[in-house]
């Protein structure tokens, strides 16, 4: 991420043209919707568009929605302000992405948020606040970030807040670092016969100005600022990527990694394509939010849990098998314990999941007589013709995959 230390010239006396700005925002939204999203993610635009606190521009809170999945696309360089700025312009604002996430998080129809990233990064200001917000949303709804095909610097900070990160085979991830640019124009101006004069108050007011070489004390101050931001960046990534320590993150030395290498060193969870991930999320209705102790490879995720090793079909896993596998995978989880106990008493997977969810709300997870009766009735309806489905012995790996997939699908996290 780049922090400009060059003194900028600002326009003055220019009144904002509210109607023109809003018209541009409208046109930009249409371009973004039709030329970028619609071709890749069939569905409907969702989310309100509201004016900001000043009433002078529309905040782009719309996202693409289909089958329980909200798509938020981030492209180009990242800037802090300008919520009306969208991906079609070549810039994306933290303000706008925050508004999109807030709208998707509040939409009861949205079960999963898909964050589509193709950005080299951008401003430091606002980047970590957005990463914090993405992380907070991911505690309520699964957020799947896809590096398609670039999530570098501030864009990777954003991705690190997601529940999981998928990279395309050619996707570039990383660049966890900070840079400050100082441009010394003094010799060029001297050749041109230009002699700038800075009139100021406050000893550090013109630190880093481009009209003189950078003094060592100013360089030291800027380095201290960079180091502080770098520490914030590393801590942000370490929080979101629990598989990486701060030392491991620093050891990358701001390198970028391609595809499978990012998975190997822990910057991403798996390799996939945009289309495959979109179809997977839409077909399941929610993301497979990885829980502590549960990991699945791409091959595991594509393999049906109803097919045992060796290619032999299995029509059902016994409640005892599934209950035992869940408890073995998540021994410290109260939700898993409630889930397994309900299964062992004859509850369907759906009912067991509903009971497990009650733990978050502080409700009782004891099965009522009515629930018990419903559980027994549902169990009788599993197999063809109304009878119990026949059981075939399954390999241990398939049982674990079934347990993980079931728990992730039904109640997200233990």
Task: For residue 335, name the pLDDT band (cuts at 50, 70, 90).
Answer: confident
Look up the CATH number of the domain holding residue 239.
Answer: 3.90.226.10
- Catalytic residue flag (residue 153): yes
Number of domains in the chain: 2
Burial of 204 (0-12, 13-18, 19+ CB in 10 A): exposed
Q: Given 119, 153, 173, 333, which residue is catalytic?
A: 153
pLDDT at 361 over 80: no
Question: What confidence score (pLDDT) does residue 213 get?
Answer: 96
* Same domain? 309 vs 172: no
Sign of the CA dihedral running 395, 399, 405, 406? positive
Percent of the chain beyond pLDDT 70?
55
* Same domain? 152 vs 271: yes
* Same domain? 261 vs 342: no
On whether residue 384 sits in a domain, the answer given is yes
On whether residue 312 sits in a domain, the answer given is yes
* Same domain? 244 vs 356: no
375 φ, ψ (degrees, to nearest 5):
-60, -45
Question: What confidence score (pLDDT) does residue 46 get?
Answer: 76
Domain containing residue 7: 2-179+227-277
Give the closest residue to 257 by CA, choosing from 133, 329, 170, 351: 170
* Same domain? 323 vs 388: yes
Higher pLDDT, 403 or 248: 248
Helix (H) or strand (E) run with residue 376 in it: helix 369-380
- The model scores a pTM over 0.75: no
* Same domain? 69 vs 149: yes
* Same domain? 140 vs 253: yes
pLDDT per position as a tens digit, 53-110: 555 555 556 788 888 899 999 999 999 987 555 555 578 889 889 989 999 999 999 9
pLDDT at 382 over 90: no
Q: Given 35, 205, 302, 364, which residue is catalytic?
A: 205
* Same domain? 232 vs 322: no
Inter-residue contact 143 to 175 (CB < 8 Å): no
pLDDT at 52 over 90: no
Rg, Å, the chain Cα set: 26
Weakest mean pLDDT among 80-94, 307-321, 334-348, 351-365: 307-321
Higher pLDDT, 398 or 392: 398
Higher pLDDT, 317 or 78: 78
Helix (H) or strand (E) run with residue 380 in it: helix 369-380
- Catalytic residue flag (residue 366): no
* Same domain? 270 vs 302: no
On whether residue 307 sits in a domain, the answer given is yes
Terminal-residue alpha carbon distance, the chain:
36
Task: For residue 182, name the pLDDT band (cuts at 50, 70, 90).
Answer: very high
Pairing mode of beta strands 58-59, 50-51: antiparallel
Question: What confidence score (pLDDT) does residue 275 get?
Answer: 87
pLDDT at 3 over 60: no
């Amino acid at each position: 991420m780049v922090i400009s230390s060059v003194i900028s010239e600002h326009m003055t006396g220019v009144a904002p043209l509210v109607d023109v700005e809003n018209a541009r925002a409208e046109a930009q939204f249409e371009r973004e919707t039709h030329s970028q999203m619609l071709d890749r993610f069939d569905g409907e635009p969702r989310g309100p568009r509201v004016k900001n606190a000043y009433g002078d521009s529309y905040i782009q809170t719309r996202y693409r929605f289909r089958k329980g999945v909200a798509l938020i696309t981030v492209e180009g360089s990242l800037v802090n302000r300008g919520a009306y700025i969208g991906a079609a312009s070549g810039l994306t604002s933290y303000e706008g992405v925050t508004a999109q996430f807030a709208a998707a998080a509040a939409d009861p129809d949205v079960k999963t948020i898909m964050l589509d990233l193709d950005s080299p990064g951008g401003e430091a200001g606002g980047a970590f606040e957005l990463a914090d917000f993405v992380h907070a949303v991911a505690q309520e709804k699964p957020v799947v970030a896809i590096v398609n095909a670039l999530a570098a610097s501030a864009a990777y900070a954003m991705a690190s807040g997601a529940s999981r990160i998928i990279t395309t085979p050619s996707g570039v991830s990383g660049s966890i670092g900070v840079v400050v640019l100082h441009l010394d124009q003094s010799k060029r101006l001297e050749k041109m016969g230009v002699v700038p004069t800075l009139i100021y108050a406050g000893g550090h007011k013109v630190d880093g100005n481009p009209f003189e070489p950078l003094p060592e004390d100013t360089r030291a101050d800027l380095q201290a600022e960079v180091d502080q931001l770098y520490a914030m960046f590393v801590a942000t990534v370490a929080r979101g990527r629990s598989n990486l320590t701060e030392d491991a993150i620093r050891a990358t030395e701001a390198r970028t990694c391609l595809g499978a290498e990012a998975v190997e060193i822990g910057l991403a969870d798996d390799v996939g394509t945009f289309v495959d991930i979109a179809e997977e999320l839409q077909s399941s209705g929610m993301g497979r939010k990885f829980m502590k102790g549960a990991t699945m490879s791409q091959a595991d995720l594509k393999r049906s849990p109803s097919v045992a090793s060796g290619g032999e079909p299995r029509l059902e896993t016994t409640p005892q098998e599934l209950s035992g596998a869940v408890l073995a995978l998540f021994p410290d989880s109260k939700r898993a314990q409630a889930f397994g106990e309900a299964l062992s008493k004859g509850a369907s997977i759906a009912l067991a999941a509903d009971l497990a969810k009650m733990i978050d709300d502080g409700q009782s997870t004891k099965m009522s007589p009515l629930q018990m009766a419903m559980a027994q009735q549902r169990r009788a309806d599993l197999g063809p013709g109304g009878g119990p489905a026949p059981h075939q012995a399954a390999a241990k790996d398939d049982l674990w995959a079934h347990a993980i997939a079931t728990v992730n699908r039904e109640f997200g996290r233990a």
